[in-house]
Amino acid sequence: MRRYWLMKCEPGAYTIEALERDRRTSWEGVRNYQARNFMRDDMKVGDAVLFYASNADPSGVTGLATVVRAGYAERGQAKPIWHMVDIGFVERFAGIVSLETLKATRGLEKMMVTQKGSRLSVQPATKSEYDIVVRLGRRLERAKTVRA
């Protein structure tokens, strides 16, 4: 059963553009146990990922990725505490589906990222939430195409 996720990253650290260039990357450096557990235990190859730019202008979903390697331990730990996954590039939106838009969209009221004080950097999402965000992202694409 394919699962759906949202992964946050500050643009200063990594972006969807960088992922498009690199094709894939390892999601190392997460230092939160809940997020770690999702990566170590639940994320499987083929799962869908919403790529979210945090602390950005504006913050929001900038594209799509997919899990290409399930949870494995970061190197250089005597006892493996921290784990990561690898994600691969899927799609870059023409713009940002901003947090403001997410909050204003019906069907995303319960999405974790729209909740106040939600800081978790790896979050589960539902298929319905994922589909809605993808539609919003591709609408940006169409709008751009129409203008061109």
Footprint of DNA (CB under 7 A): 8, 10, 31-34, 54-56, 59, 99-100, 113, 115-121
Q: How far is the CB of 114 from DNA (least distance, A)?
A: 9
The DSSP secondary structure of 105-141, one letter per residue, reads: STT-TT-GGGSTT---SEEEE-HHHHHHHHHHHHHHH
The DSSP secondary structure of 72-103, one letter per residue, reads: EEPSS-SS---EEEEEEEEEEEEEEEEHHHHH
Q: How far is the CB of 82 from DNA (least distance, A)?
A: 11
| CB closer to DNA, 66 vs 121 | 121
Q: How far is the CB of 116 from DNA (least distance, A)?
A: 5
Q: How far is the CB of 118 from DNA (least distance, A)?
A: 6
Q: End-to-end distance of the chain based on CA atoms, in angstroms?
A: 39
